[in-house]
Amino acid sequence: SSLLAENHSAAGVGVDQELISSVPSWNPTFVERNYTDAETAYCRSQPNPAASFAARWAGKEAVFKSLGVSSRGAGAAMREIEILPDESGVPQVKLHGNAKSSAASRNITKVHISLSHSDTVAIAFAQASV
């Protein structure tokens, strides 16, 4: 019973905010390095692509934090955190590579994410569950 309690506790949370103007989504090299092809296609299809890229960047940072991984910013493999909407428009997190194995080693089975942006600021919240 105490084992069950531990199993079902939240594993970690993450919050991040980014100025939309500080995420250089006009730079193809930056985009290619940090976003999957599906993410790039999705962001470019949105009414405000810069805001979508920035919200996703904040989301990736928030997911890293929720995993308890200390890698942040330019050094992190942001492409390994893929955030795409499901058929209802709810953003879903899919992990690849080191991010995936790091989550698996901590028994994390699900990361919930939510994104929001104003005209100038994007914020994201992530919750990792075991």
Residue 121, CA distances (Å) to 23, 36, 44, 86 in order = 10, 22, 18, 24
Q: How far is the CB of 1 from its own copies (least distance, A)?
A: 7
Closer to its own copies at the Cβ: 10 or 37? 10
Between CA 83 and CA 43 the distance in angstroms is 11
To the nearest whole angstrom, how small is the minimum distance from the Cβ of residue 116 to its own copies?
5
In the complex with its own copies, which residue's Cβ is closer, 17 or 49?
17
Dihedral angle over CA of 83, 122, 27, 72, nearest 10: -70
Instruction: Give strand pairing partners of 112.
Output: 92, 127
Phi-psi region of 73 (alpha: psi -120 to 50; beta: other; left: phi over 0): left
The stretch among 29-37, 42-50, 58-66, 75-83 that binds its own copies (CB under 8 A) is: 58-66
Please tell me whether residue 10 binds its own copies under the rule CB under 8 A. Answer: yes
Backbone angles phi, psi at 36, to 5 degrees: -75, 165
19 binds its own copies (CB under 8 A): yes
**102 touching its own copies, by CB under 8 A:** no
Using CB under 8 A, which of 23, 62, 81, 83 touches its own copies? 62
Residues near its own copies (CB under 8 A):
1, 4-5, 7-10, 12-19, 61-62, 65-66, 68-70, 88-90, 109-110, 112-119, 121, 123-127, 129
